[in-house]
């Protein structure tokens, strides 16, 4: 099980024990710091996720903790993952940020967003999906945990097609079969060529697929 480290961040510089700081220093080497995956959360969200470790947000107008930095240690150390996975994950925040920004610019309004990642390594795919959902929520989008699924016959046909053709056809089928409605949008993140190290993405809305990058 991964170790959870939580660092409470103050609105002004305040001394904190270095043992809880994920940055390299006396209590933690650079190698150990590189093997942490960290995410900054509001105190309210951190308290909801980890009520036993993060206190409730203070009343408005008081000067106390406002954010939390949550870190988990990787199951694999740097250099143990395949090179492509390492490149994808090392630039995940930036690449997912670019994708969600482009997607949000295409579709606005009160919509329900669905996200799925098509990547050979399931653990990496899950991290990409979580990162994309988190970014969308931070942009004020309503995000569903449901992943749209087609019938077995559709999947058998789509599996044999190249991605450039498969995703637009899948989008049409989602809408035709009622898997997605006019109130739904689906953000798909994937690699198109197994030799590349960059993520691609497309958006499915009302039966029409648009490549974002």
Per-residue model confidence as pLDDT tens digits over 114-160: 999 998 888 888 999 999 999 999 888 999 988 888 888 888 888 88
Q: Quick one: DSSP state of residue 57?
A: P
**Residues of the chain predicted below pLDDT 70:** 1-37, 59-67, 72-81
Name the strand (E) or helix (H) holding 80.
none
Rg value, the chain, Cα: 20
**Residue 38 · residue 70 · CB < 8 Å:** yes
What angle do the packed helices 163-176 and 152-159 form, to 10 degrees? 160
**What pLDDT is recorded for position 29?**
53
Strands 208-211 and 200-205, by their bridges, are antiparallel
pLDDT given at position 121? 87
CB neighbourhood size of 172 (10 A):
14
pLDDT of residue 62: 53
What secondary structure letter does DSSP report for 74? -
* Total residue count of the chain as it appears in this document: 213
- Which run of H or of E encompasses 149? none
Packed helices 92-106 and 83-90: angle between N→C axes, nearest 10 degrees: 60
- At residue 6, the pLDDT reads 52
- What per-residue confidence (pLDDT) applies to 11? 42
Are 102 and 189 in contact by the 8 Å Cβ rule? The answer is: no
Distance CA 55, CA 178 (A): 43
**What's the pLDDT at 80?**
60
- State how far the Cα of 159 lies from the Cα of 190, in Å rounded to an integer: 14
| pLDDT score recorded for residue 45 | 78
Token pair of 7, please? 């660092």
Q: What is the dihedral of CA 185, 96, 197, 211, to 10 degrees?
A: 30
Q: Residue 56 contacts by C-beta under 8 Å, 6 or more apart in sequence?
A: 47
């Amino acid at each position: 099980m991964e170790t959870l480290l939580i660092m409470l961040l103050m609105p002004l510089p305040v001394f904190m024990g270095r043992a809880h700081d994920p940055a390299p220093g006396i209590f933690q080497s650079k190698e150990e710091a590189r093997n942490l995956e960290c995410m900054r959360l509001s105190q309210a969200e951190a308290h909801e996720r980890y009520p036993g470790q993060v206190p409730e947000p203070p009343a408005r107008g008081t000067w106390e903790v406002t954010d939390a930095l949550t870190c988990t240690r990787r199951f694999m150390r740097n250099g143990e993952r395949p090179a492509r996975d390492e490149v994808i994950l090392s630039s995940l925040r930036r690449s997912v940020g670019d994708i969600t920004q482009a997607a949000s610019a295409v579709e606005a309004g009160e919509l329900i967003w669905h996200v799925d990642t098509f990547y050979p390594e399931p653990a990496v795919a899950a991290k990409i999906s979580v990162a994309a959902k988190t970014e969308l929520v931070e942009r004020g989008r309503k995000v569903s945990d449901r992943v749209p699924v087609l019938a077995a016959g559709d999947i058998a046909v789509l599996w044999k097609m190249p991605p450039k053709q498969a995703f637009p056809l899948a989008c049409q089928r989602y809408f035709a079969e009622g898997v997605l409605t006019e109130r739904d949008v689906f953000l798909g993140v994937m690699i198109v060529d197994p030799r590349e190290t960059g993520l691609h993405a497309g958006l499915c809305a009302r039966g029409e697929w648009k490549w974002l990058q």
